């Protein structure tokens, strides 16, 4: 959901933008001349190799290095400082680890004494490290940690700065949609969930559910997890019985199945409003079966039907 007046930034570049913004607004640490050769250490705890994460180290590292170069060169900030990047992984066996991340954050704190911490982005590792950062009174900047639980008024996370999309802001946006269009009857949420790794779809749709359930007294909000047996018929029956405004959050192939069945059962004619919740625009990335920015494409014979179904499908991101 781009905000007017601000450039659209990729999640991997936002931490670097935030670092520069921090320096520009902090004259005491950016422009006053400290003792010569003083170190400024930027500690980083992010996934080391898995590029599926928008905040993985290979994506973030170039942006951070460019930010440091610009701060010390073109902007002439940090006179007399030697800026160092200290990286340790938050990844174990190719996935975010709530075990590895806090241990490495503690090691960085003990042995490198950082001035600011970047990451983690995944929800469970970020929660653990953010609590440590609050205890250390250390700023933590992350493009992830999108869960509703990272509330600004929570003392556990009061040094955490989230620069990416959040479940809270997504919920606020959905509330504005319902208020603007007077959608005050029934809403239904369908989401995919695997109780391992980062559970991204669960934490994204959580913000929508909590916002609608809190803000609208007369709105009936129901939810259903996408069944493991991929029984699309039961999902469409749930939609028919419980919703008029539908929010779907899950992998693209799940969306294809639901929309195809909904179209065949004539739910895409205007009586129902469908939204696909995809905050990192993963559905717009191309693959071997479809072009980029064309998520309705597939190598199946039903592509024509999917195209018609997708005409009724806004994208929330």
Question: Each residue of 15-66: pLDDT tens digit?
Answer: 555 555 555 445 445 445 555 568 899 999 999 999 888 889 999 999 999 9
Q: Is the pLDDT of residue 300 over 80?
A: no
Q: Is the pLDDT of residue 7 over 50?
A: no
Topology agreement, domain 14-162 and domain 167-316 = yes
Regarding pTM above 0.85, the answer is no
> Nearest 5°: phi and psi at 65?
-65, -40
**What is the distance between the alpha carbons of residues 144 and 1, in angstroms, rounded to a whole number?**
15
Proportion of the chain above pLDDT 70, given as a percent: 84
Report the pLDDT averaged over residues 142-160: 85
**Residue 36 burial (CB count, 10 A):** 9
pLDDT (0 to 100) of residue 31: 46
Proportion of the chain above pLDDT 90, given as a percent: 53
Domain ranges of the chain: 14-162, 167-316
pLDDT digits (tens, 9 = 90+) for 62-80: 999 999 999 888 888 888 8
Residue, of 313 and 163, whose pLDDT is higher: 163
pLDDT (0 to 100) of residue 281: 81
Q: Is the pLDDT of residue 172 over 90?
A: yes
Nearby residues of 253 by Cβ (< 8 Å), 6 or more positions away: none
Topology of domain 167-316, CATH: Rossmann fold (3.40.50)
CATH class of 14-162: alpha beta
Q: Is the pLDDT of residue 100 over 90?
A: yes
Point out the least confidently predicted range of 34-43, 107-116, 233-242, 295-304.
295-304
């Amino acid at each position: 959901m781009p905000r007017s007046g601000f450039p659209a930034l990729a999640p991997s570049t936002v931490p670097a933008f935030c670092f520069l913004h921090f320096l520009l607004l902090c004259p005491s640490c950016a422009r006053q001349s400290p003792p010569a050769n003083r170190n400024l250490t930027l500690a980083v705890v992010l996934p080391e190799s898995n590029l599926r994460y928008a905040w993985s180290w290979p994506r973030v590292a170039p942006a951070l290095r460019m930010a440091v170069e610009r701060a010390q060169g073109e902007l002439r900030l940090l006179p007399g400082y030697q800026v160092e990047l200290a990286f340790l992984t938050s990844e174990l066996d190719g996935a975010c680890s709530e075990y590895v991340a806090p241990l490495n954050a503690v090691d960085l704190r003990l042995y490198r004494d950082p001035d600011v911490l970047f990451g983690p982005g995944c929800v469970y590792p970020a929660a653990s490290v953010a609590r440590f950062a609050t205890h250390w009174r250390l700023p933590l900047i992350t493009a992830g940690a999108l869960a509703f639980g990272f509330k600004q008024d929570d003392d556990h996370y009061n040094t955490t700065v989230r620069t990416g999309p959040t479940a809270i802001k997504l919920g606020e946006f959905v509330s504005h949609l319902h208020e603007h269009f007077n959608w005050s009857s029934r809403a239904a949420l369908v989401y995919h969930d695997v109780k391992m790794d980062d559970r991204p779809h669960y934490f994204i749709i959580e913000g929508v559910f909590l916002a609608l359930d809190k803000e609208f007294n007369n709105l009936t909000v129901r939810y259903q997890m996408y069944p493991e047996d991929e029984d699309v018929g039961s999902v469409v029956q749930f939609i028919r019985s419980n919703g008029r405004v539908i929010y779907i959050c899950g992998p693209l192939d799940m969306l294809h199945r639901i929309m195809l069945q909904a179209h065949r059962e004539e739910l895409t004619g205007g009586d129902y409003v469908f939204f696909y919740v995809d905050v990192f625009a993963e559905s717009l990335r191309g693959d071997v079966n479809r072009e980029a920015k064309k998520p309705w494409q597939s190598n199946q014979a039903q592509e024509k039907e999917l195209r018609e179904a997708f005409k009724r499908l806004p994208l929330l991101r």
